[in-house]
């Protein structure tokens, strides 16, 4: 049933956020530390485990896949509720700090990614794209 997949996703989500909060409290960070990331790892582990036992039929997978496909529309809705007015009113300090850090990080990303072994790129690209 489709709901099994969605319920599995929800369970991983809740458990991940809870563990992230717990980790944040233990570390004294006053915030959630990697809750969504932990939830993602849980879901990956659950999928592998259930697949091995053949407990992951097509409808169950669809219960997760639908939400994965809804991801971009949700992001558009998220963009529509950003505080754009405040962001634009921040003036030159905010603008410079933001653009400067994006530029520096962008160069760093480009540098690291150029270090990726070129031989593996076509293989990666073939499986990823």
> Measured from the CB of residue 3, what is the shortest distance to other proteins in angstroms?
14
CA dist., res. 59 & res. 43, Å (int):
17
Total residues binding other proteins (CB under 8 A): 83
Does residue number 19 form part of the binding site for other proteins (CB under 8 A)? Answer: no
Q: How many degrees, rounded to 5, is the angle at CA 108 between CA 24 and CA 119?
A: 105
Binders of other proteins among 95-124, rule CB under 8 A?
Answer: 95-102, 104-106, 108-110, 112-114, 116, 120-121, 124
> Measured from the CB of residue 126, what is the shortest distance to other proteins in angstroms?
10
Question: Tokens 């031989």 map to which residue?
Answer: 119
> Measured from the CB of residue 105, what is the shortest distance to other proteins in angstroms?
5
Of the candidate residues 20, 55, 59, 119, the single one contacting other proteins (CB under 8 A): 20
Tokens describing residue 95: 């603008």
CA-based nearest residue to 46, from 69, 32, 64, 30: 64
Taking residues 26 to 65 in sequence order and writing x for each that binds other proteins by CB under 8 A, - otherwise, the string is -xxxxxxxxxxx-xxx-xx--xx------------x--xx
Tokens describing residue 74: 């949700």
- Helical H runs in 53-82? 58-69, 71-79
Q: How many CB atoms lie within 10 A of CB 35?
A: 21
If the CB atoms of residues 3 and 48 are measured against other proteins, the closer one turns out to be 48
If the CB atoms of residues 54 and 120 are measured against other proteins, the closer one turns out to be 120
């Amino acid at each position: 049933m489709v709901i099994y997949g969605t319920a599995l996703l929800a369970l991983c989500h809740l458990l991940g956020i809870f563990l992230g909060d717990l980790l944040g409290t233990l570390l004294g960070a006053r915030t959630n530390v990697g809750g969504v990331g932990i939830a993602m790892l849980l879901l990956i582990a659950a999928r592998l485990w259930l697949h091995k036992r053949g407990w992951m039929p097509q409808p169950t997978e669809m219960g997760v896949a639908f939400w994965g496909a809804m991801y971009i529309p949700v992001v558009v809705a998220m963009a529509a509720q950003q505080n754009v007015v405040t962001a634009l009113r921040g003036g030159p300090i905010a603008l410079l700090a933001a653009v400067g850090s994006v530029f520096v990080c962008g160069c760093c990303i480009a540098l690291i990614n150029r270090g990726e072994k070129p031989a593996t790129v076509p293989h990666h690209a073939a499986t990823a794209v």
